[in-house]
Amino acid sequence: MQATPLLIVLLALSAVAYYLGRQRSLVVAGGRIRNLHSLPSYYGVYTLFWCGIPALVLFALWMMFQDTIIQGLVISGLPSDIQALPSTELNLFMNNLQNMVSGNIVSGEIDETMKNAAAHYQSLQGYSSLILTVLALVLAVAGILWARQRITPQQRTRNSVEQTVTILLILCSTVAIFTTIGIVMSVLFESIRFFQQVPMTDFVFGLEWSPQTAMRTDQVGSSGAFGAIPLFVGTLLISFIAMLVAVPIGLMSAIYLSEYASSTVRAVAKPLLEILAGIPTVVYGFFAALTVAPFIRDLGTMLGIPVASESALAAGLVMGIMIIPFVSSLSDDVINAVPQSLRDGAYGLGATRSETIRQVIIPAALPGIVGGILLAVSRAIGETMIVVMAAGLSANLTLNPLEMVTTVTVQIVTLLTGDQEFDSAKTLAAFALGLMLFTVTLILNIIALHIVRKYREQYE
């Protein structure tokens, strides 16, 4: 059976289980609810859990590992000369095989071994889904029967159901931890493999980035250079331009909105500014590439300054626009958290509003504002679509905002989209860049969140 219908059948069986369990409890109680320890619906849920949980767990595990196991079996069933191929060629063979099995176009010609292997593959797939269907259904039905015959009026069903629910809640709350572990593991392992091929010092301190590895050993100039400094510099340059736009505008808007604006202006302007935060980044990317970049280039031509058509300035400017609401809403929260007594004290001494803001409120709110700006920086560093669409592809070690630079995120995207073989240094380099990106943003976030939290405690 296909996965989706099986899932639907399992869910339907669970619903039946609920009904059966509930009926059973009424039967054992002789139709009088007061004889039961728990309400009838608890017996229903109890049966449902017994029916659904084991079968669904089996289903999920099967789905996760079936392909890996089937592939292993197919490979071990291949003739020994193909098994002895180097891993890249074996991968290619398996890819072709998968394409053939799923009815896609196959590159290269189809020989007898391939046909046999494909038949083997298909029969294994058939067995796998058959076994899964039978096992899952047997588990579900057995669960119902087991739970049903255990139902007695004295059984403390509510307690056990509630305990199960609590365990489920705890499991759900660990998803966040598993996500973090998953991220760290996935980028770390591939990075380690990358650093086995390219020394870490070359990567972190190298000045040249051209991630092309040679197809043939005698090729010239394509040994691949993995020096990430130009990428870091490009990322920082664009982020810096973005902050130059976002911090003054965001901060001043926040100050105006929280200290000067009437409540009507605030009610209109704040949501309007926040629309900027809700616009997808791909839209900003399009805006940067098609409107802002040509505008800046034409402006440069008019003034006689050469500007690259994919200048860092355009990408940074638009990224700044995107981050304005981020800075302004974080600063707004922080400024509002400054106690009114501080303002009243300053006014009482005869300070004007702007003097109060500059000499009392901003210093008081400074830690929070800095935290917010750090969060914004981490956001700018990790932003992808704007730079993919509006910044350049080739690495260029420069600080001139009118030239073309590339960033870490752009390189990750270019290295991992399109044709890829998973073991080349080129692909692995993307994971190493991902590790850098994750580490830097993580550190920035931890510092920022720490500062913001400390600051909040101060005034609470």
Partner 1 sequence: MNETTKKNTMDIVKAKLAKRYAREQRFRAYGIVAISLGMLFLVMLFVSIISQGYGAFFQTYVKLDVEFSAEKIDPQGKRDPEALSSGDYGNLVKESVRQAFPEVTGRTEKIQLYKLVSSGATYELRNRVMANPELIGTTQSVWVPADDDVDMLVKGHIDRNLPESERRMNNQQIGWVEKLENAGRIEKRFNLVFFTGGDSREPELAGIWGAAVGSFYTLLVTLALSFPIGVATAVYLEEFAPRNKWTDIIEVNINNLAAVPSIVFGLLGLAVFINLFGLPRSAPLVGGLVLTLMTLPTIIIAGRAALKSVPPSIREAALGVGASKMQTITHHVLPLAMPGMLTGTIIGMAQALGETAPLLMIGMVAFIVDIPGSAFDPATVLPVQIYLWADSPERAFVEKTSAAIMVLLGFLIAMNAIAVILRKRFERRW
Does 445 contact partner 1 by CB under 8 A?
yes
- For partner 1, which residue of 12, 85, 165, 299 counts as binding (CB under 8 A)? 165
- The rounded radius of gyration (Å) of the Cα atoms in the chain is 31
Does 157 contact partner 1 by CB under 8 A?
no
Does 434 contact partner 1 by CB under 8 A?
yes
**Closer by beta carbon to partner 1, 142 or else 240:** 240
Does 158 contact partner 1 by CB under 8 A?
yes
Measure the CA–CA gap between 404 and 164, rounded to whole angstroms: 57
- Over the window 222 to 251, marking each residue x when it contacts partner 1 by CB under 8 A and - when it does not, the resulting string is --------------------------xxxx
Does 129 contact partner 1 by CB under 8 A?
no
Does 388 contact partner 1 by CB under 8 A?
yes
| Alpha carbon 443 to its chain's center | 17
Per CB under 8 A, the segment of 108-116, 192-200, 234-242, 428-436 that binds partner 1 is 428-436
**Closer by beta carbon to partner 1, 71 or else 122:** 71
- For partner 1, which residue of 90, 141, 145, 413 counts as binding (CB under 8 A)? 413
Does 193 contact partner 1 by CB under 8 A?
no
Site for partner 1 in 11-70 (CB under 8 A): 63-68
Does 389 contact partner 1 by CB under 8 A?
yes
Does 10 contact partner 1 by CB under 8 A?
no
Does 93 contact partner 1 by CB under 8 A?
no
Per CB under 8 A, the segment of 135-143, 205-213, 301-309, 416-424 that binds partner 1 is 416-424
User: Minimum distance from CB of 249 to partner 1 (Å)?
Assistant: 5
- Over the window 276 to 305, marking each residue x when it contacts partner 1 by CB under 8 A and - when it does not, the resulting string is x-xxxxxxxxxx-xxx--------------
User: Minimum distance from CB of 180 to partner 1 (Å)?
Assistant: 5
**Closer by beta carbon to partner 1, 112 or else 438:** 438
**Closer by beta carbon to partner 1, 226 or else 431:** 431
Token pair in block for residue 19: 């009904």
Residues 6 or more apart from 199 whose CB is under 8 A from it?
none
**By rule CB under 8 A, what count of residues binds partner 1?**
96
User: Minimum distance from CB of 126 to partner 1 (Å)?
Assistant: 17
User: Minimum distance from CB of 114 to partner 1 (Å)?
Assistant: 20
- For partner 1, which residue of 18, 59, 195, 383 counts as binding (CB under 8 A)? 383
Burial class (CB in 10 A: 0-12, 13-18, 19+), 316: buried
Per CB under 8 A, the segment of 15-23, 218-226, 275-283, 337-345 that binds partner 1 is 275-283
| Alpha carbon 139 to its chain's center | 35
- For partner 1, which residue of 19, 127, 422, 459 counts as binding (CB under 8 A)? 422
User: Minimum distance from CB of 266 to partner 1 (Å)?
Assistant: 10
- In DSSP terms, 209 is beta-bridged to 226
- Over the window 337 to 376, marking each residue x when it contacts partner 1 by CB under 8 A and - when it does not, the resulting string is ---------------xxxx-xx----------------x-
Does 411 contact partner 1 by CB under 8 A?
no
- For partner 1, which residue of 170, 215, 220, 303 counts as binding (CB under 8 A)? 170
135 closest CA partner among 47, 218, 62: 62
